[in-house]
Amino acid sequence: MKFFVDTADVDAIRELHDLGMVDGVTTNPSLIMKSGRDIKEVTKEICEMIPGPVSAETVALDAEGMIAEGRELAKIADNIAIKVPLTWAGLQACKVLTGEGRMVNVTLCFSANQALLAAKAGATFISPFVGRLDDINIDGMDLIAEIRQIYDNYDFSTEILTASIRSANHMKEAALIGADVATAPPNVIKSMASHVLTDKGLDAFMADWAKTGQSIV
């Protein structure tokens, strides 16, 4: 499973990239606002650092506007994935932009039917939001499993990009189901390394080592 980092924080991306933990990046208007930087400037910097797909989101609500914004965003770098919402207008924009050879990430997916439409429209990625479904007491991972089955049934090339990930458990479940990609905030990816028994075992080793009075260097 590929790891995308869901942030516009360049320093956080660089730290994970140096460890080989970044296959791509996803951004959105909220993350751009949080960064406090110009969208084109920060996106260009990220694209220069990360060779994989970097999602940059359109903000128009009509298909013509999304297409125009998508073409403008695509000028930033060759590895831009244009992000459009899963609306009828977004599907229209997806069809045009993918027809031009551009990567398109169709976002804000909350049903298997929506994911099926996105695949038919030629989406490069479909982004189901599992955390937001969990928020309304619907198991978001059930949606990932449904999309996986449908895409496998018909050999769709659209990649399942599990989004709105809130925990290390979400990452594990996405991998078990067979999601192609999971995009998560840096802190969630780093939390995957944590386990209470690892900490307990390390404490015991360090206590015993201290008793030996030895030093390795």
Give 81-103 pLDDT, tens digit per residue.
Answer: 999 999 999 999 999 999 999 99
Q: What is the mean pLDDT of residues 166-189?
A: 98
Q: Using one digit for the tens of pLDDT, what is the confidence trace for 136-157?
A: 999 999 999 999 999 999 999 9
Mean pLDDT taken over the chain: 97
pLDDT of residue 193: 97
Which class does domain 2-192 fall in? Answer: alpha beta
Burial 36-74 (b: 16+ CB within 10 A, else e): eeebeebbbbbbeebebbbbbbbebeebeebbebbeebb
pLDDT of residue 211: 95
Contact 85, 94 (CB under 8 A): no
pLDDT of residue 139: 97
- Catalytic site residues? 83
Q: pLDDT exceeding 70 applies to what percent of the chain?
A: 100
Contact 217, 39 (CB under 8 A): no
pLDDT of residue 47: 97
Domains of the chain, by residue range, sit at 2-192
- Residue 204, token pair as written in the block: 């015991």
Q: What is the mean pLDDT of residues 22-40?
A: 93
Distance of alpha carbon 160 from the chain centroid: 10
Q: Using one digit for the tens of pLDDT, what is the confidence trace for 115-128?
A: 999 999 999 999 99
Q: pLDDT band for position 167 (50/70/90)?
A: very high
Q: What is the mean pLDDT of residues 6-21?
A: 96
Q: Using one digit for the tens of pLDDT, what is the confidence trace for 69-84?
A: 999 999 999 999 999 9
